[in-house]
A and B are shown apart, each in its own frame.
Chain A
Amino acid sequence: MTGSPGAMATPGRGVLRDLRRLALFTVKRLAALFLTVLVGVYLTILIANMGGQVDELRMVQIQSTVAEQVRADPAFFDLSPQERNALIERRVQLDVERLRLDQPFIVRSVDYLQQAIRLDLGRAEHMHSDRGAREVYWIIVERLPATLLLFGTANLLVFFASVFIALGLSRRYGSALDRSVIALAPSSAAPGWFYGIFLILIFAFLIPILPAGGMVDVPPPEGTLAYAASLLRHMLLPVAAMFLSTIFISIYSWRTFFLIHSSEDYVEMARAKGLPSHMIERRYVLRPTLSPIITSFALMLIGLWSGAIILEQVFNWPGLGTLLFQAIGHRDTPVIIGTVVIFAYLLAVTVFLLDILYALLDPRVRVGTG
């Protein structure tokens, strides 16, 4: 009886200690990741401005535009050449000051950096969002849900399907089904867009039952239900393409993990104790393999963020990838930089979530040795 309050307090203190350690860990990781994003985005800005060389191009462009404006304006027709040149010079000067091109690039690059970090991505040079906004932020935010919807769906599908299939296969290790799935693993050498081309060819041209591209019908259907149905029909092919390109390799790698871990001594021990097989699977096989599984899931996510560009392009999906492609076409530097910054943030968030998950799953982090 006397021991019970202490026994009650210990788990409580343990949870508190765990939470404190976890918070400390989170803050540390957040700071480190923020620094990495900072460096990464700064490198991006340097590349996108060609280390300052783009400014010279911009100067030339300003000069020619201003000269053209002044020459074409009837109000200045009766100016003498000297006056006109002086006027052009004054206007160029104004533009240069407005864009702060008179300051050294290094100074401005730091400004660009803090703007990018605050997601103040500036205004697009040529493009605008579907609602007509010129801010890069709004252009990107408008496209983000489309990308998230498509890639979220595909990733989750692949993740759960392959874990379940892999578990099943590791139970029936060596069967014909197992071997045929393993033989198919090399097919994942081709990226999703590659399978996409074939799927479009088959299901949109040879047997025209599904749309070849786009996100919804044109014009978009009226009711919510009809809209969702149309969206689903359009999602079918791109999701199938991504599914095809990653499913076999995921099954392969997870089956290997499960096989390795189900031959560990402690699993043998559990079997010897006569525990039911579903319990062995959940407690002795799945639990210790969770962190590698999550790592490969996160790595797959990271890979798919950039693979998205081409898949979206192939399926004409109005997401971030298509946006980047259009921005390249328009040579719209602010949009290109903005997209890369968003990609960097998405990757950082992925890495961060991975770290937190690790901390939750891996007791060593909580105990403070990790």
Chain B
Amino acid sequence: MRQLLDGLRRLGQYPSALVGLAIIFALVGTAVFTVVTIPYGQALELWRGGDPWRMHPVNARPVWVDRIAGNNSPRTMVVSSRDALIEEEPFVGGSRMRIPLEFDFGYAGFPSELNLFLTSTHVEREPFVRLTWETPDGREFILGGRRLAREERVSISQDWELERRLGRVPHVGLFAEPADDRPPQVLEGRYRLTLDVISFEEDARVDADLVVYGRVHGLAGTDHQRRDLMVALLWGIPVALAFGLLAAVGTTVTTLVIAAAGVWYGGWIDAVIQRLTEVNIILPMLPILVMVGTLYSTSIWVMLGVVIALGIFSAGIKMYRAMLLPIRESPYIEAAKAYGAGNARIILRYMIPRILPVLIPTFVILIPSFVFLEASLALLGLGDPVLPTWGKVMNDAQTQSALYHGFYYWVLSPAALLMLTGLGFAMLGFALDRVFNPRLRTM
């Protein structure tokens, strides 16, 4: 024990160990923060995609990347009828409403999409709405009229008729200067979308949200399903740490106990352990994981179980065995036997603690390899079906050809986090190695 504490104190002399520790503490802190602010259930719900993200842009870059590059691409704007000055004229059996949705547009680029979400509280007769788009310089475009269901989504960007009339996609054409030169220029100023609603029920209410989708979003950007990548990047931390730690603990502890038991009992038990280890070295880990993922389940916990199961009889057993063999013959074990210590006690309390100092660096260096293993599996499409992880983000990016389309942030941000985790543990591990392996220390 004193050796352990002494070693930890000596660790302070290695700057790389301190940097590694700082990274690990930062990661753990962020992981705790994430799990508290976005609970597990909510994270799964969010990552399933769909409705919660309908007001987010598709494949938007992180804001800071855009601003560093010196651009001023638009952010997403939501103009709600709840903030608008609604003129209402009731008539017998209904009402006429005029809802002006106004906003200032002062960005250098065009929006990426334009959608209008409408909700109506009518009971039987559907209200009728007519849309008029007004540009800052006073031009008007009629965007057509329609009957409203209770929930309606008007995809202005996909109005082919309007696109034909404008000669451009609507979210560009509606924001462009009138001159017909190409490429189109953004016209800055105050835009207005007016909704003329005729409702055929006395107290039916119509609410509208105009969403002008930007080309940048938040700190991490969004993916092809409009999901904010921040959710996956943040939740990837606890998942990666848990997977790496549990796998490392599971494999090293079982391996160590089994190696010690083999050395202590000797005979056929040792022989069986040796042969099992040889079989296990022949078994290729990744292909087996791939088979399990394909045939059984891709749940991260099943994978973790298989990783640990395959790791029990790993090559490490040979190394521990070599270290434990001389310990078995040492006098203090003899003494323990003399006072009547049982087999389990000798293995757990006398033999294993002796090689723990050598084990700790190996254990720390092992963690990132499991973190990367999880990412590797996800990259092969065998990631957990519901959990957001870094590997899954990279897999999405790869299937969507993110590099080809220039969405570098999509690949780089999870990769940077993976690298940071790997470096944190590796730096600490290598420093520990120098502290706890005296032969290296004297160098």
Contact = CB atoms under 8 A, between A and B. Distances in A.
Contacts of A212: 403
B62 interface: no
Contacts of B394: 197
Given A36-B275, A186-B423, A198-B415, A309 B286 contact: yes
Interface of A: 32-33, 36-37, 39-40, 43-44, 47-48, 50, 54, 173, 183, 185-191, 193-194, 197-198, 200-201, 204-205, 212, 252, 256, 259-260, 263, 299, 302, 305-307, 309-310, 313-314, 324-325, 328-329, 331, 333, 336, 339-340, 343-344, 347-348, 351
Given A309-B290, A336-B290, A348-B282, A54 B411 contact: no
B170 interface: no
B372 A328 contact: no
B108 interface: no
Given A173-B443, A186-B426, A347-B282, A194 B415 contact: yes
Given A187-B423, A190-B418, A194-B419, A307 B283 contact: no
- List the 8 shortest-distance A-B pairs measured between CB atoms, nearest first: A186-B426, A189-B422, A306-B286, A189-B426, A343-B284, A189-B368, A40-B282, A340-B287
B238 to A, nearest CB: 19
Given A336-B290, A340-B287, A347-B284, A313 B403 contact: no
B178 to A, nearest CB: 37
B393 interface: no
A344 B372 CA distance: 23
Contacts of A299: 315
A311 B298 CA distance: 21
A191 B376 contact: yes
Contacts of B411: 197, 201
B416 to A, nearest CB: 10
B292 interface: yes
Contacts of B442: 263
B19 to A, nearest CB: 10
A310 B418 contact: no
A307 B315 CA distance: 17
Interface residues of B, number: 53
21 contacts: A37-B282, A39-B279, A40-B279, A43-B283, A186-B422, A189-B426, A191-B372, A194-B415, A201-B408, A256-B440, A260-B440, A263-B442, A302-B281, A305-B284, A306-B286, A306-B287, A339-B287, A340-B284, A340-B291, A347-B282, A348-B282
Interface string B373-386: 00110011110000
B425 interface: yes
B16 A328 contact: no
A47 B16 CA distance: 43
Contact of B288 (A185, A200, A260, A340): A340
Interface string B264-296: 000000000001001111111111101111111
Given A173-B443, A191-B372, A310-B380, A344 B284 contact: yes
A204 B368 CA distance: 28
Contacts of B315: 299
Contacts of A201: 403, 408, 411-412
A263 B74 CA distance: 65
B64 interface: no
Contacts of B286: 306-307, 309-310
A200 B285 contact: no
A193 to B, nearest CB: 7
A190 B403 CA distance: 20
B132 interface: no
Contacts of B281: 302, 347, 351
A37 B16 CA distance: 42
Contacts of B439: 260
Nearest to A200: B403
A36 B282 contact: yes
A212 B398 CA distance: 13
Contact of A336 (B275, B294, B379, B415): B294
A44 B278 contact: no
Contact of A54 (B293, B295, B365, B422): B295
B283 A40 contact: yes
B441 to A, nearest CB: 11
B288 A44 contact: yes
B311 to A, nearest CB: 13
A32 B443 CA distance: 40
Contacts of B430: 185-186, 252
A205 B423 contact: no
Nearest to B282: A40
Contacts of A32: 278
Contacts of B427: 186
B369 interface: yes
Contacts of B419: 190, 194
A189 B423 contact: yes
Given A40-B282, A189-B425, A47 B291 contact: yes
Nearest to B428: A186
Nearest to A343: B284
Contacts of B440: 256, 260
A313 B379 contact: yes
A193 B287 CA distance: 16
A107 B294 CA distance: 25
A127 B198 CA distance: 61
Contacts of A50: 295-296
B287 A190 contact: no
A306 B291 contact: no
A306 B285 CA distance: 7
Given A36-B279, A259-B443, A336-B294, A194 B418 contact: yes
Nearest to B295: A50
B442 to A, nearest CB: 8
Contacts of A309: 286-287, 290, 380
Contacts of B404: 205
Contacts of A198: 415
Contacts of B406: 205
Contacts of B422: 186, 189-190
A48 B372 contact: no
B232 to A, nearest CB: 17
Contacts of B292: 47
Contacts of A340: 284, 287-288, 291
A197 B416 CA distance: 12
A46 B148 CA distance: 59
A264 B299 CA distance: 51
B192 to A, nearest CB: 42
